[in-house]
């Protein structure tokens, strides 16, 4: 993210990230640049994390207003879900970033809302926000004077602790500056999965010493050394990279790197300066490809990866800075507890799969073609089951360990859907849809799969299932066996809607008894609840719900 300073103080436009085993490449998308448009033009496979910036709470502390964010410029709930689904299909984590360098007028008062009396309201609403859109965590970007006032009141680290406790299995990250009054407190560091350093904006429109660079290599070295001295471990240190520059004395105040290349030509991509560097000279200061590569190498040596502010500023093609970063790091290896391969002996394309159920469309979104798999590797403690037909039907083969050639199983080039599961006994609970303890508007009918299902569901109808106990806090996969003539949506909640767990799209299955399984992952704290299924849209049937602890 970009770091803004005023003559009186510094404020920074934060960044976020996520804890991942591989080198982190964290890219920001500001909501005011158009979430969908930026995601569509970016090669998401080159990233490990995307941060959606910035969400702020309404005056009462809620981050949601119906199905949309309460205060997030130009962003709708549909936009957030679109980016999350597209990123997840590419194996990329998605976080929402909070606050930002300039707090908008729609926001509530952060100082007041993070006081003990209202802090839980903010935290609970953030949990609902994450679950509603299927996000992977929260990045905290409270900056400058606002950060200082909240910390001086003793409310910053307790907020981070509460957020960490409320999001088991999710990511909590922070962005920080490296000047007195702009650094997150040392007491908060243990509670973050990682922290990004905004090592840029040494000079800009209205601050700093004109005649200097805004983000030299030496600045990155200095900021890394400061945070190492403050106790930030290498595994949590992520270096920020600017995809923009500033102009002085006759040039425009700011430039996206793509604008610099477009205006000054491809040769500009190989430098850091347009013009001459002096106090009265006309110049533009930025980071070109060689410096971005050098900083990436530094981040690999001293930290856990890089962060980018921001993705809309990257040119497409040969002068892409994101491509330069990825080239320096190397192509990511498939990640997941199982890896499937196109050819025997682990050849051809490779796709990593984590624990879960994968229909044909879900496999295709990850790059797996129908009837095209010939070998697989499976981590210890897991098993991979491949099915001949879509939706986990037809003949199947189950593998643990390595399977060098599926010809040996008479299953070569036959896989259409797949399930990756633990070989141990994970907690799970299946609830028959017709076993509701209360309902509004629905009826039951005979089901083609046996027993009965719930049908005649109109918008606003609901079913409640009382006294459902979840043994431990953390992530749960929720599966729904559904049928719909034309497609719809369902929503899941706890305790009569007081805890929203998100919505799931129901595809058109071609008939009221043509069943398919859809799923999402939610975060639930241990306890006993009334589970609610709500119909934001009409026209679907439900056979069962299944919860599995991940």
Final residue of a domain: which of 303, 329, 355?
Answer: 329
Q: Which helix (H) or strand (E) holds 492?
A: strand 488-494
pLDDT of 334 reads 66
175 touches 15 (CB < 8 A): yes
Mean pLDDT of 373-389: 89
Q: Is residue 270 part of a domain?
A: no
Which of 149-163, 266-280, 383-397 is the least confident region? Answer: 383-397
Same domain, 117 and 197: yes
Mean pLDDT of 475-490: 93
pLDDT of 354 reads 87
Band the pLDDT of 14: cuts 50, 70, 90.
very low
Task: Evaluate if residue 9 carries a pLDDT over 50.
Answer: no
3-state SS record for 434-445: HHCCEEECCEEE
pLDDT of 471 reads 84
pLDDT of 282 reads 98
Same domain, 410 and 381: yes
Band the pLDDT of 13: cuts 50, 70, 90.
very low
Range of the domain at 373: 338-422
Final residue of a domain: which of 388, 422, 456?
Answer: 422
Q: How far apart are CA 308 and CA 327, in angstroms?
A: 15
Q: Is residue 36 part of a domain?
A: yes
Looking at the 3D structure of the chain, how many domains does it have? 3
100 touches 92 (CB < 8 A): no
Q: Which two tokens stand for residue 212?
A: 């200097």
Q: Is residue 268 part of a domain?
A: no
What CATH number did the domain enclosing 375 receive? Answer: 2.60.20.10
Q: Is residue 280 part of a domain?
A: no
Final residue of a domain: which of 268, 301, 329?
Answer: 329
- pLDDT more than 90, % of the chain: 73
pLDDT of 421 reads 83
Q: How far apart are CA 550 and CA 540, in angstroms?
A: 27
Same domain, 80 and 147: yes
- What are the backbone angles phi and psi of residue 354, rounded to the nearest 5°? -90, 175
What CATH number did the domain enclosing 33 receive? Answer: 3.20.20.80
What CATH number did the domain enclosing 545 receive? Answer: 2.60.120.260
């Amino acid at each position: 993210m970009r770091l803004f300073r005023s003559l009186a103080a510094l404020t920074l436009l934060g960044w976020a990230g996520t804890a991942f085993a591989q080198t982190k490449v964290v890219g920001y998308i500001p909501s005011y640049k158009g979430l969908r448009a930026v995601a569509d033009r970016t090669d998401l496979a080159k990233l490990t994390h995307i941060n959606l910036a910035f969400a702020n709470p309404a005056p009462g502390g809620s981050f949601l207003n119906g199905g949309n964010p309460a205060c997030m410029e130009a962003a709708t709930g549909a936009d957030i879900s679109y980016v999350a689904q597209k990123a997840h299909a590419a194996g990329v984590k998605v976080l929402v970033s909070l606050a930002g360098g300039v707090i908008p007028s729609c926001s509530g008062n952060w100082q007041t809302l993070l006081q003990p009396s209202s802090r839980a309201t903010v935290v609970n609403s953030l949990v609902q926000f994450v679950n509603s859109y299927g996000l992977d965590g929260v990045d905290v970007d409270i900056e400058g004077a606002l950060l200082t006032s909240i910390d001086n009141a003793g409310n910053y680290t307790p907020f981070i602790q509460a957020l960490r406790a409320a999001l088991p299995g999710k990511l909590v990250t922070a962005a920080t500056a490296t000047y007195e009054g702009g650094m997150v407190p040392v007491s908060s560091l243990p509670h973050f999965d990682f922290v990004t350093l905004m090592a840029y904006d040494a000079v800009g429109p209205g601050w700093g010493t004109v005649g200097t660079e805004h983000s030299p290599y030496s600045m990155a070295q200095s900021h890394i050394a400061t945070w190492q001295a403050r106790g930030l471990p290498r595994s949590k240190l992520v270096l920020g990279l600017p995809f923009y520059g500033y102009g002085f004395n006759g040039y425009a105040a700011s430039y996206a790197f793509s604008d610099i290349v477009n205006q000054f030509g491809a040769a500009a991509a190989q430098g850091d300066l347009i013009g001459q560097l002096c106090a009265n000279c006309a110049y533009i200061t930025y980071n070109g490809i060689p410096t971005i590569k050098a900083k990436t190498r530094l981040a690999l040596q001293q930290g856990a990866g890089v962060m980018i502010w921001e993705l809309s500023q990257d040119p497409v093609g040969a002068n892409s800075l994101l491509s330069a970063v990825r080239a320096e790091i190397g192509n990511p290896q498939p990640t997941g507890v199982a890896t499937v391969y196109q050819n025997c002996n682990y050849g051809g394309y490779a796709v990593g799969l984590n624990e879960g159920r994968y229909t044909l469309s879900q496999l295709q979104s990850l790059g797996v073609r129908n009837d095209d798999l010939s070998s697989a590797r499976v981590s210890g403690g897991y098993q991979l089951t491949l099915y001949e037909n879509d939706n986990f039907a037809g003949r199947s083969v189950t593998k643990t360990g390595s399977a060098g050639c599926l010809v040996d199983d008479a299953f070569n080039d036959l896989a259409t859907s797949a399930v990756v599961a633990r070989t141990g006994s994970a907690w799970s609970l299946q609830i028959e849809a017709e076993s509701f303890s209360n309902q509004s508007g629905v009826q039951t009918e005979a089901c083609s799969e046996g027993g009965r299902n719930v049908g005649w569901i109109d918008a606003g109808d609901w079913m409640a299932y009382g006294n459902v106990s979840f043994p431990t806090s953390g992530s749960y996969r929720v599966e729904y066996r559904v049928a719909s003539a034309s497609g719809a949506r369902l929503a899941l909640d706890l305790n009569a809607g007081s805890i929203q767990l998100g919505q799931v799209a129901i595809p058109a299955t071609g008939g009221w008894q043509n069943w398919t399984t859809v799923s999402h992952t939610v975060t639930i704290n241990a306890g006993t609840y009334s589970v609610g299924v709500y119909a934001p849209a009409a026209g679907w049937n439900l056979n069962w719900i299944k919860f599995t602890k991940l």
